Structure 1
Amino acid sequence: MSISVIIPCYRAAATLRRAVDSALTGAPADLEVLLVDDGSPDDTGALCDELAAADPRVRALHRANGGAGAARNTGLDAAHGDWVLFLDADDALLPGLWAALDALTTDADMILFGLTRESSGAVKPTDYLPAGFCPDLQALGSALSPLLFDTGLLAAPYPKLFRRAAIGAVRFDARLAINEDVLFNIQFLQNTSAIYCLDGVYYKQYDTEAGSLSRRLRGDLLDAERVTRPALADLLRQNGIDPAPYEAASRLRACLNQYGLLTGCKGTLSYAERRALFAEILADPAARKALRERLRNDPNRLLAVPYRIGVACNWPGLLAGYTMAKQNLL
């Protein structure tokens, strides 16, 4: 199988060489690595050209800044491989993937495999179901929910390969600053939901490094989930699955993730923005219940007291003020 690896690059001069080396190590001669410089203001563009000059399997593409989704679209439009794999410029592929794929023949249009995160360790689809071919989402059974929500294996653009012919006209929505990858996966699966689960962990996500999205304070997770939830519901109905429990899980996950960013990351959100987000989170009964349980078991009992009070009494203003004060003091 011929494969195109698409790497969107923005301010990636410190990590890009690692990502490219990981893709090329042990790779077949017909591998294509597309480095898409997304108008990066640092030395990333020059590094893309240097890496392309050093190996004929690497091509450098340059575009005006438009975000990761737009950069991936540029790569898709230029790709020649039968399969497409997305690799972030600050992540890496792990040894063994190319050998595992070399012996694989499948009618599936998505090949799903495991990843390891610096923050939480390894997870793979075969932790939840046997390796092999699943003709549709119903065949995933009880594994569908953890693959979507608990692990993110189905929701993220990695770790997986997409059959390029099955992608068709599907592209990342460049208007979205987050969840554009989730929406892309959902729309792809609306075209075809035949998945092959490959045993093994072949992707490493460096999610604790500076610059990782998981370490940035942002306030658009709830808005982004509102965009992807209807598409997810349509996909599930298309596969004969009741979407209601998955819609509830999607909303709960977004609330908990947004709460985690508000309470755990530094940033420039104003008091009013924080208060509005906390109010929206606390208005969700499932989120309040989950947060109360989480806070009861928080090991930092003293620091968690204002959080427990704010959640128990539904005081978003207290939570907003406390997170701002804590950010400035700690």
Structure 2
Amino acid sequence: MISIVIPVYNAEVYIQECVHSIQSSLKTKFEILVIDDGSTDSTRYLCQQLAMEDSRVRYHYQYNAGVSAARNLGIDLANGKWIIFVDADDKFSFSGDYTIFNSAADIIVFSKVFENKEISLHEKSDLIEYIKGILKCSDFTHYNKGYLNAVWSKVYNLDLIKECGIKFSTNLINGEDSIFNLDVVENANAIQFHNQSIYQWRKTSGSATSKYQRNMIQTDKFFLKELHNKLVDLDILNDIRQEYNRIALNGLWIVLFQCLGHYLNRDKVKTKFEIYTGLKNSFPYDEAFKSILNRKIQIDKKRGLVFGLLNRFSYPVAFTLLRAATKRKHNSQEEFLTI
């Protein structure tokens, strides 16, 4: 059986479409666990209706504690051999060969960008290669490359997760998927890649990648510390130092885009610049900038322009550009992206 966990919060517009996409595409035994994270709209009523109409849908309510806590409850309640995580505003679609679920691997990764293959994680070289994939694909602009850091498009061995006590960190608002995947990889025997897309991500102005996050600075630093410690524990930090620097630099960009430079941030421009300067000169962001100067890592032109303006003290121009960019993203059209 396959367990599908859907954390939901005020998703009255999307939740029915999400659940129906699973019901209509899966032709094997499954259960859907809808974990309501304290919704205040009609989500609760709609989910209860879905559960009444189909016994395979189970609805559970919790007081608002965040998406990680909701997913963790789903893990505790799940009964399947495999577990899949789906966001309430996205859609799921499976039309492939069900024998894939007989795999002896502990993780199955679906995406059209991959070749059908299985890799063992007993060899350090294979472990490093997979973890590089997680870190290199940390930027949400790489959605069309089947990035490995998110839990989307992945099927996990539920017994492994439960036996090893693997959970999502409730202290993070970004990066929790990466840490979860690293925890699974640390305990897994093999990963299977399958050349098929099963997930449609709904890109909206209110998505986690674009909305204003006042506490993004604290959570990104916490994530980078957690990631650093995890890579040390796996004894691979030195092997992928530049990938870590790249993800640190990406984190600083997210801080700029979703916090300091966001159009909803009303702090004075000089205050924003002082906060940015303090971050840039602190670990691990300082090491990431040294990697740029030493040409060990490269950044795209857009980020290079903004960082360049900030480094030349042209910060009013930089924050004006960021404010305009976040406003455009807020007003962007909703669309589905197949992952």
TM-score category of the 2 structures, normalised to the smaller one: 0.7 to 0.9
The aligned residue for residue 301 of structure 2 is 294
The aligned residue for residue 245 of structure 1 is 242
Taking the aligned partners of 2:195 and 2:242, their CA distance within structure 1 comes to 28
Taking the aligned partners of 2:202 and 2:104, their CA distance within structure 1 comes to 32
TM-score of the aligned structures, taking structure 2 as reference length: 0.77
Q: CA shift at 1:111, angstroms?
A: 0.5
The answer as to whether partners of 1:255 and 1:287 remain within 8 angstroms in 2 is: no
Listed one character per residue, the Cα deviations across residues 67-101 of structure 1 (whole Å, up to 9, x for unaligned) are: 000000111110000110000001111241xx333
Q: CA shift at 1:214, angstroms?
A: 1.1
Q: CA shift at 1:30, angstroms?
A: 2.1
Is residue 35 from structure 1 mapped to residue 34 from structure 2 by the alignment? yes
1:135 alignment partner AA: S
**1:273 to 1:191, Cα distance in 2 relative to 1, 3 A:** farther
The answer as to whether partners of 2:174 and 2:220 remain within 8 angstroms in 1 is: no
The aligned residue for residue 337 of structure 2 is none
Question: Which segment drifts farther, 148-157 or 191-200?
Answer: 148-157
**1:270 to 1:217, Cα distance in 2 relative to 1, 3 A:** same
The answer as to whether partners of 1:187 and 1:231 remain within 8 angstroms in 2 is: no
1:185 alignment partner AA: N
Is residue 226 from structure 1 mapped to residue 220 from structure 2 by the alignment? no
Q: CA shift at 1:318, angstroms?
A: 5.5
Listed as ranges, the matches of 1:101-250 within 5 Å are 101-114=98-111, 124=113, 126=114, 130-136=115-121, 138-139=125-126, 144-150=131-137, 151=142, 153-168=147-162, 169-192=165-188, 194-207=190-203, 209-218=204-213, 219-220=216-217, 222-234=220-232, 236-237=234-235, 242-250=239-247
Taking the aligned partners of 1:29 and 1:322, their CA distance within structure 2 comes to 50
Q: For 2:195, what is the secondary structure of its paired residue?
A: strand
The answer as to whether partners of 2:261 and 2:319 remain within 8 angstroms in 1 is: no
The answer as to whether partners of 1:84 and 1:161 remain within 8 angstroms in 2 is: yes
The answer as to whether partners of 1:34 and 1:75 remain within 8 angstroms in 2 is: yes
Is residue 62 from structure 1 mapped to residue 61 from structure 2 by the alignment? yes
Q: For 1:32, what is the secondary structure of its paired residue?
A: strand
Question: Which segment drifts farther, 76-85 or 137-146?
Answer: 137-146
Alignment root-mean-square deviation, CA:
3.3
The answer as to whether partners of 2:91 and 2:201 remain within 8 angstroms in 1 is: yes
**1:55 to 1:251, Cα distance in 2 relative to 1, 3 A:** same
Is residue 81 from structure 1 mapped to residue 76 from structure 2 by the alignment? no
The aligned residue for residue 334 of structure 2 is none
**Alignment identity in percent?**
23
Taking the aligned partners of 2:29 and 2:36, their CA distance within structure 1 comes to 22
Q: CA shift at 1:286, angstroms?
A: 4.2
Structure 2 spans left out of the alignment, 5+ residues: 332-339
Q: CA shift at 1:141, angstroms?
A: 6.7
The answer as to whether partners of 1:109 and 1:195 remain within 8 angstroms in 2 is: yes
Q: CA shift at 1:308, angstroms?
A: 7.2
**1:293 to 1:226, Cα distance in 2 relative to 1, 3 A:** closer
**1:193 to 1:265, Cα distance in 2 relative to 1, 3 A:** farther
1:85 alignment partner AA: I
TM-score of the aligned structures, taking structure 1 as reference length: 0.79
Taking the aligned partners of 2:271 and 2:93, their CA distance within structure 1 comes to 40
Structure 1 spans left out of the alignment, 5+ residues: 115-122, 298-303
**How many equivalent pairs are there?**
305
